[in-house]
Amino acid sequence: MTYPPGPQGLPLLGVMPGWLRSRLDFVLAVHDGYGDMASFSLAGRRIVQINHPDLIHEVLVKKGRCFRKADFDVSVFRLTLGDGLLSANGDYHRQQRQLVQPALHAKQIEAYARLIVEETRAMVGGWGRSVEIREAMTELALVIVARALFKTEVPAGAVARAAEVFSHAGNQMYRYLIAPPRWMAVGALRRSLNEVDALVYAMIEARRDDPGEDLMSFLMGTGMSDEEVRNEALTLLLAGHETTANALAWAWHLLGQHPAIRDALHAEVDAVLGGEPAHTAARGSLPLLDQVIKEVLRLYPPAWSLNGRVPLEPVAIGGHTLHPGDTVVIVPYVVHHDARFYPDAWAFRPGRWTPAFEKDLPRYAYFPFGGGDRYCVGASFAMMEMRLILATMLQHVRLEALPGEPPQPEPLITLRPSAPIRMKALTT
């Protein structure tokens, strides 16, 4: 069987020029031009982009065991995170996933609710009359996941520096599609790797006789080797802050553009929580806030494209046979803007998320946290964190948009606002 049609591209380079010009425009154009399934050549690899929820369900879930994560994505993460959950494949992934997952179960993460509210209040308390929300949300999300992992001894400066260097390195690798092995890491990346390793191994040592109540102690209690604990802890740190931070930054940008919705949110939070800290309030009692979060994750899914998947053997998808050399690309950003599932797909309309709408939506028309065996292990943590941060901020501060060019989505490893978002802050 032949491959589905797609953009032709140049000899050798394939569609590389279009890809480098704008990755978001490129994947959207593939969907517009070729529909539910398209194939093209990118830097010598055959890519199959899958755009229909039912076919995505097949790849991620029904035939999930017939695929592994692509070598390129694995190499990018392995450089800094070793064989942590993001880079692992096959039996080793399944084994590690079983060990890590319980640390992030809903019951376990309740313990972190208080620290999320505490850090959010402290942040808002230090604000002046204006704030750059992208940076503020990045710092907040990083401190929260670092404290959850390492309890009190967060060396915030060193962790933030390393996180910045790691994600910059990852972004460059994705942009130019080159992933060097770890021994080739030089300059700032090498220094950060050494610094972080020294820090993390010292923390492991400190816990050996005196285990605490943080995620790191939990990981140590599973019987993993020190290196495995290091890899999983850094994976949670990296995967667990930039995604959430971007979602929060987009949320505030959108609320700044839609003051009526923001005011309704203030009213909901005041009516439900009053002055009580958000973590003590009843769960599920902020329906508008939940709709807003869903709509933000639809319009600007932080994991805008899933990691590539490679068939382990020839596998039939959508009437075509995919082969072990091919890479399947699945892009939540494309599917989340498909007008077949979302009328007025580019508009911010939290009200669309009614129970009836959700019931009719195909399962994989909305998947900000991925699906199948590699479904985001931090999804419950992230949802709780975003709810608590937004509710606490709504209680204590009013953020208004300032005039200026709106930021554009920048498709790095995560979907970041392209420019700082400065907002007027009125603390209440």
- Interface residue list for ligand HEM (CB under 6 A): 85-86, 97, 145, 235-236, 239-240, 243-244, 247, 302-303, 306-307, 368-370, 374, 376-378, 381-382
> 184 or 312: whose CB is closer to ligand HEM?
312
- The minimum distance between CB 233 and ligand HEM, in angstroms, equals 10
- Give min distance, CB of 13 to ligand HEM, in A: 25
Closer residue to ligand HEM, CB minimum distance, 368 or 411: 368
Nearer to ligand HEM by Cβ, of 306 and 322: the residue is 306
CA pair distance 313, 315, nearest whole angstrom: 6
40 close to 7: Cβ distance less than 8 angstroms: yes
> Quick one: 333 or 381, whose CB is closer to ligand HEM?
381
* Residues 134, 249 contacting (CB under 8 angstroms): yes
Strands 315-317, 397-401: pairing kind: unpaired
- At 40, give phi and psi (nearest 5°): -160, 170
User: Helix (H, G, I), strand (E, B), or coil: what is residue 281?
Assistant: coil
How deeply is 125 buried, as exposed, middle or buried, from its count of CB atoms within 10 A (0-12, 13-18, 19+)? exposed
Q: Pick between residue 234 and residue 425 the one whose CB is nearest to ligand HEM.
A: 234
**Least spacing, CB of residue 376 vs ligand HEM, in Å:** 3
| CB 377 to ligand HEM: min, Å | 5
Supply 67's token pair: 């695929």
| Residues comprising the chain, all counted | 428
Residue nearer to ligand HEM on the CB measure, 7 or 69: 69
CB of 293 to ligand HEM, least distance (A): 9
CB neighbours (10 Å) of residue 248? 25
Spatial distance between the Cα atoms of 27 and 358, rounded to a whole number of angstroms: 25
Nearer Cβ to ligand HEM (109/425): 109
> Cβ-closest residue to ligand HEM?
378
Burial of 188 per CB tally in 10 Å (0-12, 13-18, 19+):
middle
CA-to-CA separations, 371 to 48, 235, 343, 366, 404, in angstroms, rounded: 18, 18, 24, 10, 37
Query: Could you tell me the smallest distance in angstroms from the CB atom of residue 387 to ligand HEM?
Result: 11
Contact yes or no for 398/266 (Cβ under 8 A): yes
Q: Which of 297, 296, 304, 294 is nearest to 358 (CA)?
A: 294
Is 164 or 190 the residue whose CB approaches ligand HEM more closely? 164
How far apart are CB 330 and ligand HEM at their closest, in Å? 8
Q: What's the closest the beta carbon of residue 103 comes to ligand HEM, in angstroms?
A: 9
